Structures are given as C-alpha cells and as structure tokens.
C-alpha cells in the first residue's frame, strides 16, 4: 500500500502543515482555560494517509454520532452499514451506542463503510481536551488539503473519474472531450472517491479562511 503524505489546514487558525505536525499543533495551540465541555480528540486517517481529519467530540457522545459524521463528510453512498471494530481484532465489533469516553488515550479502532468496495479508516484517540460549548457535538478541527490526482491520459489534474469494474481511471475535462468519454463521478475530497457515487458533503466542510483566526490574534 502506497503511503501518501498530504498537507492540511487547521480549521481554527488556518495553519497549513502535515498530519503529524497538526496533531501536536491542536494539542498545544488550541487549549483553553474557559472550557465548559470535556472532549476527546480524534485523528481519523484513511489507509493511504492522503485523506485525514481531526475531530473533537464530548465524552458523552457515542460512536453513533461519529458514524453519522463520517458518513456525511466522507462515506455515505447508498445507506450501507458502518462498522466500528478493534484494530487488533476485526471480529470484535463495537456497539454504536458506546460512549467515546470508554476508549483510552492512544487506543486505535477501525471504521469500515461496507458495500461492494468497502472503505476503511483508522481512528486514534489522541487524548482529552476542553472546549467552549459548540452548536454541534462533533467539531471538525483540521482536514487534509484536497489531494490532486493526475489525469490517466495526460499531465493535467483530473476533474472526474470513470469507474470500470471498480478500478477507476482519472480524467481531466479536456480528455473527456477529446476522447468523448463519459465520467462516472467528479473528484471529491474523500477516500471513497472512485469506489462509489459518494454523496459526502465536501462543499459544506470545505476550508473557509474567513472563518479562522490566527493563533497570534486569539
């Protein structure tokens, strides 16, 4: 499996850095003494590491809330089953009603969105944090910058993909026109892209620099 390293953005201050540095950044630069809610900080990464997220969620929130969030931002296609399981034993499945507080710092679990072409993500419990009250239980704190894929027929970046027996060809708009190809889907910022007609809310969760405040201004 090819491991790809991508840069990402902190959704709280706009910092651009890689996955490893982002974990340290969130745990040092975004602590608050005015906290009213104790949370669990999560690192969520696809198998190839090109796609990743950092989330926090209240200790009272359940895996069902996490399942709903991952479906919305990355995986939802045709209402397939989402399964949480232990990293060491895939036969040991975790109940959706289990609160996130049961998991320990440093523990890793796996999430699998099932279907014809299942997609996995690794979830690591980074630790406990405090935060001010939030409008939603799960807060997106950081995300990879959208991974740019080269067209299979030229050196341009792809705009869409053509899924042939589960093996996608990535195509730019010009090549689609020249070769009269009909694409199956557009490129999206999700590890499920190319595996199914993903309906993840990419636009809803896209990074918006107008909503962040640099650390030195906080």
Q: Which residue has the higher pLDDT, 15 or 146?
A: 15
DSSP string, 76-91: -SS---EEEEESS-TT
Residue 200 has pLDDT above 70, yes or no: no
Tell me the domain boundaries of the chain. 7-146
pTM: 0.86
> pLDDT by residue (tens digit) across 170-190?
889 999 898 888 777 788 888
- CATH 3.10.290.30 assigned to domain 7-146? The reply is yes
Residue 77 has pLDDT above 70, yes or no: yes
Q: Which of 105-109, 167-171, 209-213 has the highest mean pLDDT?
A: 105-109
- DSSP 3-state assignment of 176? helix
The sign of the CA dihedral 94, 109, 19, 4 is negative
What is each CA distance from 134 to 21, 32, 36, 93, 195, in whole angstroms?
A: 25, 14, 10, 30, 33
What is the model's pLDDT at position 151?
A: 92
- Owner of token pair 């999206």: 188
């Amino acid at each position: 499996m090819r491991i790809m390293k991508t840069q990402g953005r902190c959704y709280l201050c706009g910092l651009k850095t890689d996955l490893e540095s982002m974990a340290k950044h969130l745990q040092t630069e975004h602590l608050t003494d005015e906290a009213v809610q104790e949370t669990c900080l999560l690192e969520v990464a696809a198998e190839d590491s090109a796609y990743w997220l950092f989330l926090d969620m209240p200790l009272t929130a359940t895996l069902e809330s996490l399942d709903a969030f991952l479906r919305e931002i990355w995986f939802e296609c045709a209402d397939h089953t989402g399964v949480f399981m232990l990293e060491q034993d895939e036969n040991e499945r975790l109940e959706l009603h289990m609160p996130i507080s049961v998991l320990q710092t440093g523990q890793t679990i796996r999430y699998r969105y099932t279907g014809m072409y299942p997609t996995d993500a690794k979830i690591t419990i980074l630790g406990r944090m405090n935060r001010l009250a939030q409008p939603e239980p799960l807060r997106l704190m950081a995300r990879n910058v959208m991974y740019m894929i080269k067209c299979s027929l030229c050196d341009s970046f792809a705009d869409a993909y053509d899924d042939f027996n589960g093996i996608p060809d990535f195509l730019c708009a010009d090549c689609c026109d020249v070769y009269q190809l009909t694409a199956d889907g557009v490129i999206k910022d999700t590890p499920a892209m190319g595996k199914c007609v993903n309906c993840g809310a990419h636009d809803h969760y896209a990074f918006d620099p107008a909503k962040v405040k640099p650390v030195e201004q906080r």
